[in-house]
Structures are given as C-alpha cells and as structure tokens.
Structure 1
Amino acid sequence: MKVYKFGGASVKDADALRNLAHIVKEYGANQLLLVVSAMGKTTNALEQVFDLAYQQQDFAATLGHSQQYHATIVNELFPEQGHPVYARLEHLFSQLQQQLQLIATQRKGSYDQQYDQVVSYGELLSSVIVHYFLQQQGIANTWVDSRKYIQTDTTWREARVDWAWTERVIKRDLPALLEQQPVVTQGFLGGTNNGLTTTLGREGSDFSAAIFAYCLDAESLSIWKDVAGLLNADPKRFADTVRYPLLSYQETVEMAYYGASVIHPKTIKPLANKRIPLYVKSFLDPAGEGTEICDCRFEVTTPAYIVKDRQCLVSFSAKDFAFISEKNLGTIFNALSELRIKINLMQNSAISFSICTDLHEERLQKLIDTLQDQFSIHYNTQLQLYTIKNYSNDSIQEIMAGKEVLLEQRTRNTFQIVCR
C-alpha cells in the first residue's frame, strides 16, 4: 500500500492532470491513496477573496477569477457538458459564495476560524476534478473527504491532530476501500468533532499524506514535485543546485525546520516513527531517481542553502536596563506560545533578546500589545533569513555578498544571517 501526494504545480492545468493520470497508471501500486493539493495558486487566490469578504468589500470579481480558472481546466478535460463534475463544482462554488456572504455580513468567529472555512475549498475543488478525470481515464477510484478522517482540535490554521481518533477511523474504513480501488482525498484539511473545517498550516498537504501513511502502515510515501528530488537549494534562487540521492530522517527534519520548502516540517516525524521511507520525486521526470529519505546514515557534505522571505526581527529589552533574565525570557516565551509565533532564530545579549520570525502583522501587533508594558520593543519587517547547513567559508561569502546583515549566528554545522 502506497501514498502519493501531488502538490499544486502537479495539478495546475489540464496537461498537469493528464501527466498525473500517466504517473498513476505507470507507477501506481495495487493499493494507492492519492492526496492532492489545491490547483496552482488557488490557495493564494482564496486568501484574497477571504480578506475582501472579511473586510466587507466586494469579493465577486476575485471569486469569479478563481471560478473561471477551474472552469477552463474542466472544460478542456470534460468536453461533454452533462458530465457530473460540472454539478459538483457548481455546488462547491455555491457553498463557498454563501460562506463568504455570511462572513461579509455577520463576521462570526475569529479571523483564523473563518479563514479555514474558506481557504479549504481549494483542495475540495481539486480533489473532485482529479477524481472524475481519473475515472474518465479508466482508473476507477473512490473520493473521500479527509475532514471526516483527520480529526483535530480548534487551533485554526495550524490544527493539532487527534492521533488516536484519526488512526482508529482511518484503519476502520480505508483499507477495505483501498483493496477495491485507489482512493483520492485532500491534503491540508482536517475537521473538528462538531463538523467545522480546520487546516494544518501552509504546505500542510505533505503532513496530511504522512498522517495517512502512518495510520495505514504504508510501504512508502511519494511526494511529487517540479524538482528532481530534494536539492541543496531552491533552483529559482541558486544556480548549479545538487540533488541529494539519500538523506536521513534527522538531516531532513533539520532542513525542514530551517525552512526548506520541499518538505513540510511536520511531515517527517510520523514517517520516522514507523520507518516509512519518503520519496521526493519529479512529476516532470517520473522515472528519475529522486531522493529517498529513510532511517539511514548518510554523510552530507554539500552545503544546503535555505531562504525564508517575509521575516520580522523583534528585539526586547527591559525598560529599567536590567539584564535579560530567565524570568524575562519566560514571559516572552509564554506570549510567543499563546500567539503561536514560531521562532526561526534567537539571540540574546546582556540587556536584549532578539527573535526572527515569519511576519504575521496581526500576531506581531498582539505580541507588542501584550509585552509593551514590560519591555521596550523594536522590530524590522520585510527581511530575509538565510541558513546554510554544513557551511564552508566560500558558501558564507557567497550569501553575504551585497547584503546588509542585521543579525548573524554560527554553530558547528549551521550558519544564519538576517538581512535586508
């Protein structure tokens, strides 16, 4: 039994879906579960629609662009207008519009809660189209709603999985379905015990696939990307990238923690717990070797370059010029935990403590409001965080050239700078 995860780029248009069907036919297993992301940049588009609705502005045109994008793909793949895919998509967009209108008029629930109810439609739309297209290509399959199988708490936008409940329900229902034919489901999505939708964090479809692989004791998980495997750098930013043929779980976890975009940080842990190998494969070259991530020992010598954009550097200092004590740090960490602000880098001196974090304007303002009575707070936004794993002097000189460095940190194996 295998799990395949297809990201947004692998389902972005009609040709991409034809390629997906080819991969399933040529490389799929007897028992195969497919986890699909939203098509192309749909998640970004739905974020824009949601923001307009939440701000009580006209969202009709922006929603119409997303609807037309999906319609163009469907019209090319399903020329017969009476095909059931049209009714399913019309129903989903009708539900979405009603949800948006409710948000615009009543704004019930928090911003993050309403966000999850809207942005989740990207995966629902994508999985329905994949389901029907595979059927059209002669690949019988069952569509299932992942929100009924991955149960979470109500930590909106970064929901925590109830592993015991989730594993019990997946093992109860899905093996019998998989024995009959492949199953198509959604990444990124979970559900609460009272029927509300949650999401697992941006790029959470990888995590969804790992959850299903773990609960089904899968032979392997394959993530299909537009790159040849796990590379030492983003080829859109760096020339002459190198593919890692083999990596250990531990090395991959560290790269994911620092922000490597190929693997979601939460993905590795459930796979490592059951020794399930992860393959990062290219949907552009499905016969290529890709990268295998497994329980192994493999010495990594090639430096890995990781870049995170939209970073914020926040510095705290005691108002009475006292030292930054453990008590001060405890107060700051408690506030960060409550606001779900993840630290990407931290550094302290005698009288100040600095963190680099992803920029979330709303959470940043809440952090300032919470701590401004106790600390003097200064921050810079729109920065970049560069990380080099297994650095060399040449690699450091390469990334520092021409940059204004605001903070620098070096350990035995890792070098990081926050810069403009």
Structure 2
Amino acid sequence: MEKIPGLQVYKFGGASVKDAAAILNLCRIVRDFGPKGPLVVVVSAMGKTTNALEEIYDLAYSGQDWAQQMESLTAYHERACVELAALIPMVKLSQLREQLQQLVLELTEEMQFMKLVHKPESYDQGYDKIVSFGERFSVLLVRTALTYFVSAVAVHYMPVQSVICTDETWREGKVNWSVTETRTRYIVEKELAAGAKIFVTEGFTGGTETFGLPITLGREGSDYSAAILAYCLRAESVTIWKDVAGLLNADPKIFPDTVRYPEISYRETIEMAYYGASVIHPKTLKPLADRNIPLRVKSFLDPEAEGTLIHDCQHPALAPAFIRKTDQCLLSFASKDFSFISEENLAVIFAALAQAKLKINVMQNSAISFSVCVDFSQRRVHQLLDLLREQFLLHYNTGLLLFTIKNYDSASIATLTAGKRLLLEQRTRGTFQFVCAA
C-alpha cells in the first residue's frame, strides 16, 4: 500500500485546547507550522472535561444527583463558544451554540436512559459511552475554528468511531488493525480527492466492530489514537503538542532541574512510558516503531523550539529519568497454610488480576507471599479481593507513591529515597523502583 505523500499527524492534548485562546493557538500552529501535505489533527477533551464526565457518570451510576455538575460542564463549553466567536469573528456563534446544545442534549438523554435501565455489569460500557462525549465537544470547537481560520474547503471532520475499529473490551478497546486501516485510508483518500487537506478527529475513543458503539482506548489514550492513524496511513511523522519543552527526564512540576532529551530511541521511550512517564501513553510507540514513523514532542507554548525527536537511533547514556505515580495500592497475598507461593498460586492470582482489570506496576515474591503494586481503583480492588479471599490471606495499603528511576546511579537513588520509608523496593540493571507512603 502506497504512502500518502507528506501526510503528518498532530495530536493536541487537553491543555492545548483548554479554552478559546488555546484553540486559536492550535489554529496558528496548524497554519504556520503545519506540513505542506495532508494533516490529521487528533484532539483530546478540553482541560479537565474527562475528569468532570467521570464524576457525572459515577454520580448517576450510584443514583445520586448530577445536575449541578452537568450544568457546570455545559457552561464551561458554552463560555468557550462565546470566546471563540469573539476571537474569530467569522465563527457563527448561534450555529456553534446550537451544535453544542445538541451534543449536551444527547449526553443528557444517555444519562437519563442509563438511570432507568443500567445494570451493574455494564459499568465499563456505560463509562465509554458517557466519557467519549468530552472529545466530541472539543472536536466541535476545534473543527469550527479551523474551518474559519484556515479554509472551509480544506477542513474535513472524520468521526473516529467510523475509522478506529475495536473489539468490545470496554475501556481498553483492542484495535482491529486491518479494518481500521481500510476504513481510514478509504475516507482520507476520498476526501483528499475532493479537496480536503486537514482531517480533524477525536482522540481516546473508537467504535466497536459489531455495532459501532463508542469505546475508549485506555485513560489518556489520545496519543495512542494518533499512533493508530499514523500507522494506518503510513504517516511521515507524528507530533504531540504538550505544555513542556519536549520529553523531559522528570515532571517539572514535581522535580527541580529537569533535563530535556533532544533525541531518544523508541525502546527507551517505551520503557519510560510503561513505568508511568506522563508525556506519552504507553501504547503509542509500538505502532510507530513497527513502521519506523518518527515521533516529535513539542511545546504548543513555544512551537519554534526544537522539542524531542523519538525514533530508531543510538545515543550515549541518558540522564536518569525520575517518574512518580500517585494513588497506588500495595496488595499482598499469602498462603493460608504457610505453604510456598507456587506457580499454581501465581497463575490463580494473575488470572484474578486480569479479570479485575488491574495492571501490575511492580511485583515481588517471597517464600510464602506475593506482593503487587497497582493503580488504586476501589471497585476493582474489591472485585479482586472477592475473587481471592477464600484461597489467600490478603492485605493491602492505599494512598501510596511509586517512584521509578530509569538509568539510575547511586546519587539519584540516595536523593530520591532520602527521608522516605520504603515499603517495597526492586532493582534491575537499569531501573530502580520503590513504593512508599505519600
């Protein structure tokens, strides 16, 4: 299958579309720094919209009133509509408001329907349906702004549910790559022939193969969406626009004196993302590496800056990377009869972890116990305990921190562990991890 000459993919996260001014900045980046060839623009929900929709959904699911939260979320997006029309006078405010209100009405109807018929086992499916509205809201504003700021003829809206096809693993949709590639190329090639140049679509979500139902690809999954589309279109490159100068060795909000990596390999970046580096979603790199598509991480606050280039390369030893994950849970399983933790025991524990959809961040075993550190979810942890309490003695601690040092040295370990009580620690050739109280 031939490449589409010059095609690139840009992904804009929640901070880069948080309000009307940010969306106007996005338009300027596309106009001033975008490629000469076709461009696919993947957009996340605005600001903290996903968090707000999660709160609304949880309130509704537990039978509590969610009207006030919905009103606040609607007002936030309506304010962005008004401000966008003021910044780009060609934008028809009445038309934009009407489209937004239609989406809000659709969301409200879904919430009310769920209140009438929801079943406990449908939580994850309902989550995907409701939370996916965040990207639909933001894409409405972004595509409207680009239409009037760039060119109405050049901008085409490509609903992600019609292109990214998955199974029905709710909240972690597994991509059907062949179907997704066929659909994506068909739409892009057809619209290119009709004069389109910029394709705007939602991140984080897709559609199920059977009925095209909304499904999410994993929390913070818009990076992955961009990689999926880049893979299917054999893109020239992907650029992720962030509020930082590139891929840094630590979160500058937490760690002082951060270092930017000008260039880094796919392998190093995949490992950093796996351990929880917040800049890139863990699934993003594999499809890009498979087709040798370079990934750039650049700042939407300073689009002329160099950023970071992630590709197939060799480089000297990197500065230690510091990664912190909050809201961790340390679970320990012990045999009830003081027998050793055997392979059979581990198989039972791993099966239960998979059933509860809990991902292991660190694991460690001794003669008669096995411990894992996972992202805390009260519902999922309790499901795990229900599955295993008859076979094991169970203990768990919540509210913990997990620190990872990639490419560690003795000085970095001493600095990060100073004054902390370590509940679990693990060291390999290139990685040091420990769990401690917050």
TM-score, length basis structure 1: 0.98
Matches within 5 A, 1:5-404: 5-29=11-35, 30-79=37-86, 83-108=94-119, 110-140=122-152, 141-178=155-192, 180=195, 181-192=197-208, 193-404=210-421
Q: Is contact 2:85–2:93 with CA below 8 Å preserved after alignment? A: no
The secondary structure found in structure 1 opposite 2:166 is coil
Q: Alpha-carbon deviations, 1:190-246, whole Å to 9, x = none?
A: 111213110001110000000000000000000000000000000000011000001
Amino acid at match of 1:50: Y
Displacement of 1:174 in angstroms is 1.2
Distance 2:19 2:277 in 1: 26
Distance 2:412 2:388 in 1: 38
Match in the other structure for 1:3:
9
Unaligned runs of 5+ in 2: 1-6
Q: Is contact 1:13–1:39 with CA below 8 Å preserved after alignment? A: yes
Displacement of 1:299 in angstroms is 2.5
Determine what percentage of the aligned residue pairs are the same residue.
Answer: 55
The secondary structure found in structure 1 opposite 2:240 is strand
The secondary structure found in structure 2 opposite 1:110 is helix
Q: Is contact 2:204–2:219 with CA below 8 Å preserved after alignment? A: yes
Distance 1:342 1:298 in 2: 31
Distance 1:189 1:76 in 2: 27
The secondary structure found in structure 2 opposite 1:142 is strand
Higher mean C-alpha displacement, 59-68 vs 172-181: 172-181
Distance 1:44 1:300 in 2: 38
The secondary structure found in structure 2 opposite 1:78 is helix
State the Cα RMSD in Å: 1.2
Q: Is contact 2:8–2:237 with CA below 8 Å preserved after alignment? A: yes
Distance 1:174 1:248 in 2: 30
Distance 2:335 2:289 in 1: 42
Aligned residues: 420
Displacement of 1:83 in angstroms is 3.9
Q: Is contact 2:231–2:287 with CA below 8 Å preserved after alignment? A: yes
Q: Is contact 2:31–2:150 with CA below 8 Å preserved after alignment? A: no
Distance 2:169 2:377 in 1: 16
Distance 1:203 1:8 in 2: 10
Distance 2:14 2:288 in 1: 22
Q: Alpha-carbon deviations, 1:267-306, whole Å to 9, x = none?
A: 0000000000000000001011100000111123300000
Q: Alpha-carbon deviations, 1:122-150, whole Å to 9, x = none?
A: 00010010000111213330111101111
Q: Is contact 2:81–2:93 with CA below 8 Å preserved after alignment? A: no
Displacement of 1:173 in angstroms is 1.6
Distance 2:192 2:402 in 1: 43
Q: Is contact 1:55–1:104 with CA below 8 Å preserved after alignment? A: no
TM-score, length basis structure 2: 0.94
Q: Is contact 1:56–1:105 with CA below 8 Å preserved after alignment? A: no
Distance 1:31 1:215 in 2: 14
Distance 1:326 1:82 in 2: 63
Distance 2:151 2:61 in 1: 41
Distance 2:139 2:416 in 1: 40
Distance 2:212 2:178 in 1: 18
Unaligned runs of 5+ in 1: none
Distance 1:177 1:33 in 2: 12
Distance 1:300 1:280 in 2: 20
Q: Alpha-carbon deviations, 1:324-365, whole Å to 9, x = none?
A: 111111111111122221110000111111000111111111
Match in the other structure for 2:4:
none
